[in-house]
């Protein structure tokens, strides 16, 4: 999916000893949105926006190590070893050693001679990396100005973490003028560096530059045209996480030092084998307990009691993403955790006083098919006709933010209808649910509406799987669990044909093995992802065990 922006110049920072002026360059193609304000809570804002930056650049996807050089060396070494073994006589071994010494000498010489070249090459690539650093970011953050607060949103490169920094107007000292709306801003690494210099003894002016909209397009050169081709999966991930926010969740509060302890465990230990999950053990009225697998380390949170109704255990994955919260520990008053369930997205809302930072995490760090099955997040929740939907949206637009209750009252509609319409817009990326203040806010993610039909499912197999579930033609026939590895067998009766999918899920809830009797599986095995029957079986099982 291609997004194109047009910025008037780059985001610029003017710092003059005691004051800094940060002027964000907004997307001039969108409706004018601007804001000028002087920072009041400098240091806290600095820490929070730095955490947001960590989300933007975070990429925790597994990067396989490049072992070609080692394998080459290993093969060579094996050959040498074998030649040593085979050379029975001392003489031969002596000769080989002599030659090896010569070769290594030559190789050293070779390396020495190539060294300046290699160094220069390295330097050149480093230079390129630095100069073109901003090209590494996937998506410029979105700034939304609302009547009560201004918030920054971003989504990480690995399609798994969502960050939102909301700053209410108390954070700013003098607010000059603002126009509500959403816009993309030109974002760069230099800007991050400049944020690091925010101090309380320096005045910092933050402005989403309104002058950008006034300039007539006379001189084309002045505009910076940016075209970003985002993978559909990225946009889908973003929408999934943001629509998950409006779903009912298990809520618990954590003391900042509890987060410190969670990070502490992660910093001190490194997992080599699975399962790599964090288990929230929640008992009503008791302190929250978090167990780290596979070590079984328990973190007790004596000052954070679980206030829910029923006892439950929720497992979450992708825990290293929590390290983003590290910088917020000293400035946070508390963290509110929203857990949607095992393998479902989770949210950490840091209460920073006048600011709030929301870290949204998808079920797993890797957003690939081995953990797929989350697309019911994007399923429509209630049938609301288009006209009513539009009416509700326009009503919300008047106030920019509102709770569903008051909206229902104002429009004289039932709450279900309002919620259904709002969730539909949330899924389309036009409205966002603010976990901190529990209100819906207008936030148009893109200038043009997103193509929802294309985004809902990654492929037609997912679509078919949901259809099977809706038609109720999927049955789980047997469930076997051994050493934490679960084997499922099932039956799908589609158009008078019976398919018997079979799948194995490991301790980290990853699909590690699957078979099916359908043609797709016979032809592709798992190389192109699982077939619709396997997906349907997995979802059916998830539904039954919920």
Partner 1 sequence: MKLIKRTTLYFQEGTSDKVYEVDLCQVDETNYVVNFRYGRRGANLKEGTKTTTAIPLAKAQQVFDKLITEKTDKGYYDINIGQAVGQASQSTPMSTVNSTSDPRKQAILIRLKNKKPSAGQLERAIWRAGELKITEAEPLLIKLIGTEEALRDYCIAWSLGWCGSQKSIPYLQQLYQNPKTPDFVNRIAFDALLKLLDDQGKAALKSEKLASLPPDLKSLATKASPQVFAASLNDYLENGNYKNFAVLDTIYQIDNEIVRPALINILRTAPFKPSYFQRLRHIFKMAEYRHDAEVYALIAYRFEKQREMFNSESCHVKLSDGQYLSSSNRKYNYRTYKYEPVVSEVQEELQKPESRIAYSSKTREYLRFRVWRTLEELGKQEDAAYIKMAVGILLEYSDNDAIQNAWFPYSLYQTFNHIIYENSSRYACYRGGWFCKGNYRQDNPEPQEREEAFPKLWEQHPEALIHLLCQSKCLPVNHFAVKVLKACANYLTSLDIPTIIKLLDNPYEVTTKFAFEEICLKNYNPASPNKELLLALVNCLYKPGRTQAYQWIQEKRDILFSDTDFIISLIISPQSETRISIRPILNSTIFSDDAAKIIVGKIISNLLIPENQGKTFEIIPENIGQRIKDIGETLFISFAPQLRSLGFQVINDLLQNTRIEIQEIGARILLNHETKTENLPPQVIQSLLASPHDSVRVIGIRLFGQLPDAKLVGEDRVIIIAMAINVVADIREAIEPIIIRLATKYPDFANQIARDFIEVLLVPEKHEGVHSFLVKLLNQGLSENLQIWKHSISKETALRLINVKSNPAQELGGAVLIANISQWQSEFTANEIVKLSNSQMFIVREGARQLLTAKLDSFRENTNEMLAGVRLLESKWEDTREFAFQLFTKEFTPEEFTPQILISICDSVREEARSLGRDLLIRNFQAQDGQEYLLKFSEHPSVDMQLFTTNYLEKYASGNPARLQELKPFFVTCLSRVNKAGIAKKRIFAFLESEAQKYEESAKIVAEIMARQSLTMAISDKASAIKIMLHIHQRFPNLVLPMDVKEVVKVRT
Alpha-carbon dihedral angle through residues 388, 390, 392, 397, given to the nearest 10 degrees: -170
Q: Which stretch binds partner 1 (CB under 8 A): 1-9, 253-261, 471-479, 488-496?
A: 253-261
Is 257 near partner 1 (CB under 8 A)? yes
- SS3 for 73-85 is HHHHHHHHHHHHH
Tokens for 102?
A: 């010569």
Is 197 near partner 1 (CB under 8 A)? yes
Tokens for 395?
A: 């009503």
Q: Which stretch binds partner 1 (CB under 8 A): 155-163, 261-269, 367-375, 451-459?
A: 261-269
CB of residue 281 to partner 1, shortest distance in Å: 17
Is 527 near partner 1 (CB under 8 A)? no
Identify whether the C-beta of residue 429 lies closer than 8 Å to the C-beta of residue 1. Answer: no
- Segment (H or E) for 292: strand 287-292
User: Angle at which helices 386-399 and 415-427 pack, to 10 degrees?
Assistant: 80
Q: Which of 228, 265, 411, 473 binds partner 1 (CB under 8 A)?
A: 265
**How deeply is 268 buried, as exposed, middle or buried, from its count of CB atoms within 10 A (0-12, 13-18, 19+)?**
exposed
CB of residue 454 to partner 1, shortest distance in Å: 37
* Residue number with CB closer to partner 1 (126 or 376): 126
Which of positions 288-347 make contact with partner 1 (CB under 8 A)? 299, 302-303, 326-327, 329-331
* Residue number with CB closer to partner 1 (170 or 460): 170
CB of residue 197 to partner 1, shortest distance in Å: 5
Q: d(Cα 280, Cα 258) in Å, to the nearest integer?
A: 13
Q: Which stretch binds partner 1 (CB under 8 A): 11-19, 208-216, 245-253, 438-446?
A: 11-19
- Segment (H or E) for 392: helix 386-399
* Residue number with CB closer to partner 1 (113 or 197): 197
Count residues near partner 1 (CB under 8 A): 39
Tokens for 225?
A: 């045209």
Which of positions 155-194 make contact with partner 1 (CB under 8 A)? 193
Q: d(Cα 56, Cα 48) in Å, to the nearest integer?
A: 13
- Those residues with Cβ within 8 angstroms of residue 238's Cβ, 6 or more apart along the chain or in another chain: 155, 159, 162, 429, 445
Which of positions 96-135 make contact with partner 1 (CB under 8 A)? 102, 105, 109, 130-131
Q: What b/e readout covers 26-40, taking b as 16+ CB neighbours within 10 angstroms?
A: bbbebeebbbbbbbb
CB of residue 339 to partner 1, shortest distance in Å: 21
* Residue number with CB closer to partner 1 (53 or 164): 53
Identify whether the C-beta of residue 336 lies closer than 8 Å to the C-beta of residue 290. Answer: no
CB of residue 243 to partner 1, shortest distance in Å: 32
Binding footprint of partner 1 on the chain (CB under 8 A): 14-17, 42-43, 46-47, 50, 102, 105, 109, 130-131, 193, 196-197, 199-201, 255-258, 260-261, 263-265, 267-268, 299, 302-303, 326-327, 329-331
């Amino acid at each position: 999916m291609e997004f194109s922006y047009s910025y008037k110049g780059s985001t610029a920072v003017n710092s003059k000893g005691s004051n800094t002026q940060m002027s964000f360059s907004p997307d001039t193609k969108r409706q004018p949105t601007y804001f000028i304000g002087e920072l009041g809570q400098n240091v806290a804002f600095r820490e929070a926006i730095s955490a947001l930056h960590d989300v933007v650049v975070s990429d925790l996807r597994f990067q396989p190590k490049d072992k070609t050089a080692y394998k080459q060396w290993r093969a060579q070494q094996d050959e040498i070893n074998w030649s040593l073994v085979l050379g029975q006589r001392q003489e031969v071994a002596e000769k080989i050693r002599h030659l090896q010494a010569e070769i290594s000498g030559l190789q050293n010489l070779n390396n020495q001679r190539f060294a300046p070249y290699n160094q220069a090459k390295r330097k050149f690539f480093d230079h390129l990396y630095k100069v073109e650093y901003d090209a590494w970011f996937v998506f410029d953050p979105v700034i939304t100005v609302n009547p009560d607060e201004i918030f920054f949103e971003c989504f990480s490169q690995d399609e798994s973490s969502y960050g939102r920094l909301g700053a209410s107007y108390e954070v700013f000292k003098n607010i000059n003028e603002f126009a509500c709306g959403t816009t993309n801003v030109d974002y760069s690494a230099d800007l991050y560096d400049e944020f690091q210099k925010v101090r309380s003894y320096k005045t910092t002016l933050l402005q989403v530059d309104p002058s950008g909209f006034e300039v007539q397009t006379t001189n084309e050169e002045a505009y910076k045209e940016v075209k970003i081709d985002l993978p559909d999966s990225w946009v889908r991930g973003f929408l999934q996480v943001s629509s998950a926010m409006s779903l009912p969740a298990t809520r618990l509060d954590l003391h900042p030092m509890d987060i410190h302890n969670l990070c502490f465990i992660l910093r001190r230990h490194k997992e080599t084998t699975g399962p790599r999950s964090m288990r929230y053990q929640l008992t009503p009225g008791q302190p929250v307990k978090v167990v780290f697998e596979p070590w079984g380390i328990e973190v007790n949170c004596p000052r954070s009691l679980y206030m829910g109704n029923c006892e439950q255990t929720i497992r979450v994955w992708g825990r290293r993403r929590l390290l983003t919260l590290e910088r917020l520990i000293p400035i946070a008053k508390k963290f509110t955790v929203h857990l949607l369930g095992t393998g479902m997205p989770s949210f950490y809302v840091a209460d920073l006083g006048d600011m709030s930072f929301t870290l949204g995490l998808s079920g797993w760090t890797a957003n690939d098919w081995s953990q797929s099955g989350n697309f019911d997040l994007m399923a429509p929740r209630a049938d609301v006709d288009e006209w009513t939907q539009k009416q509700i949206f326009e009503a919300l637009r008047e106030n920019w933010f509102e709770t569903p209750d008051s909206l229902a009252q104002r429009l004289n509609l039932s709450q279900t209808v309002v919620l259904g319409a709002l969730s539909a817009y949330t899924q389309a990326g036009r409205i966002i649910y603010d976990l901190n203040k529990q209100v819906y806010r207008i936030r148009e993610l893109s200038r043009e509406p997103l193509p929802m039909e294309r985004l809902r499912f990654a492929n037609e197999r997912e679509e078919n799987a949901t259809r099977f579930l809706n038609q109720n033609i999927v049955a789980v026939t047997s469930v076997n669990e051994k050493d934490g590895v679960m084997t499922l067998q099932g039956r799908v009766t589609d158009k008078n044909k019976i398919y018997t999918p079979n799948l194995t899920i490991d301790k980290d809830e990853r699909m590690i093995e699957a078979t099916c009797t359908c043609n797709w599986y016979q032809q592709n095995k798992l190389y192109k992802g699982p077939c619709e029957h396997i997906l349907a079986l997995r979802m059916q099982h998830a539904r039954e065990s919920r």
